[in-house]
């Protein structure tokens, strides 16, 4: 299946902005509840959250600080399990505060490819080896990460399929790339239409706009406009990455079975545990 031709007029038939649940200083915390499937069902509210990293104030000035004054609101999310997808280096520099904030257990599934401001792309730009970053570059990065990290994505999806572990909150650094990929795989497994899957991913660019400015100090003498997409969430990138799975594996669920050890049994469990009746 070829990638959809996305442009400024391409929209989702459902308003993904309704999932936004800001707590404290968070910008990208969302409850996927209400997201529709193609067969008329919806994701049950309060079952799956996606977010950016939350860290102790001062641990990493580029991450959202944990604000203990909002503990009641964090706990009200009802989270049982936090999945941290950041690299080991990111975790070592600033441990996730989401487990303490929510009172949840934490599962570490480090995906080394990625990390906002902490990728090989950043080094390539800083050394002049790369002078721009495009949506096609992002799609290539996503396709590579999906194929390299099937075990990690599969482990996360099997946790989400276990009713004893939900509600689950998943995060990486910005809640954009690694979280975006995992959530896209989940939504596809649940039967959410592709245009909604892509719109959910692209919402990060609305909730966390112009993030390149936060990293401007790393790129002295670099044209920030030429690399801004590295810190954004262009819809075409996710659409093309998922289309590449369709082309190679027949479908995203085919990829899940072949590369992530997510069987039809797991998919059935995800749908039984996370979807409300039509």
Regarding pTM above 0.75, the answer is: yes
- CA gap 251, 136 in Å, rounded: 21
Work out the pLDDT band at 120, boundaries 50, 70, 90.
confident
Query: Mind listing the domains of the chain with CATH numbers?
Result: 16-276 (3.90.190.10)
- CA gap 276, 19 in Å, rounded: 16
Can you give the pLDDT at residue 12?
Answer: 64
Q: Which residues, other chains included, contact 6 with Cβ-Cβ below 8 Å and sequence gap of 6+?
A: 198, 234, 235, 236, 239
| Tokens, residue 120 | 């090989």
DSSP one-letter code for 69: G
How many other C-beta atoms lie within 10 A of the C-beta of residue 150?
18
**Could you tell me the CA-to-CA distances from 30 to 124, 130, 249, 277 in Å, in that order?**
32, 33, 30, 21
Average pLDDT over residues 123-131: 90
| Tokens, residue 249 | 């594996």
Q: Mean pLDDT, the chain, as a whole number?
A: 92
Residue-wise pLDDT tens digits, 162-196: 999 999 999 999 999 999 999 999 999 999 999 99
- CA gap 180, 204 in Å, rounded: 9
Q: Which residues, other chains included, contact 208 with Cβ-Cβ below 8 Å and sequence gap of 6+?
A: 27, 28, 52, 174, 175, 176
Q: Which residues, other chains included, contact 74 with Cβ-Cβ below 8 Å and sequence gap of 6+?
A: 23, 24, 101, 102
Question: Is 50 exceeded by the pLDDT of residue 118?
Answer: no
Residue-wise pLDDT tens digits, 23-77: 999 999 999 999 999 999 999 999 999 999 999 988 888 899 999 999 999 999 9
């Amino acid at each position: 299946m070829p990638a959809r031709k996305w442009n400024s007029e391409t929209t989702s038939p459902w308003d993904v902005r309704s999932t936004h649940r800001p707590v404290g200083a968070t910008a990208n915390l969302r409850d996927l509840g209400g997201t529709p499937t193609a067969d008329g069902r919806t994701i049950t509210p309060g079952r799956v959250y996606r977010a950016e990293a939350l860290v102790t104030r001062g641990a990493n000035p580029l991450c959202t600080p944990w604000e203990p004054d909002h503990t009641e609101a964090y706990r009200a999310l009802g989270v049982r399990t936090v999945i941290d997808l950041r690299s080991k280096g990111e975790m070592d520099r600033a441990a996730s505060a989401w487990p303490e904030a929510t009172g949840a257990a934490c599962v570490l599934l480090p995906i080394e490819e990625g990390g906002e401001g902490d990728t090989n792309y950043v080094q390539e730009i800083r050394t002049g080896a790369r002078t721009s970053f495009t949506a096609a570059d992002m799609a290539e990065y996503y396709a590579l990460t999906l194929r390299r990290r099937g075990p990690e994505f599969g482990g996360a999806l099997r946790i989400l399929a276990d009713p004893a572990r939900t509600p689950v909150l998943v995060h990486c650094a910005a809640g954009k790339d690694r979280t975006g990929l995992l959530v896209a795989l989940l939504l596809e497994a649940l039967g959410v239409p592709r245009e909604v899957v892509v719109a959910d991913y692209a919402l990060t660019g609305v909730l966390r706009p112009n993030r390149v400015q936060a990293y401007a100090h790393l790129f002295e003498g670099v044209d920030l406009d030429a690399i801004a997409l590295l810190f954004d969430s262009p819809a075409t990138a996710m659409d093309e990455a998922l289309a590449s799975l369709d082309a190679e594996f027949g479908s995203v669920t085919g990829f899940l079975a072949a590369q992530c050890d997510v069987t039809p049994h797991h998919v059935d469990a995800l749908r039984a545990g996370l979807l409300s009746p039509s």
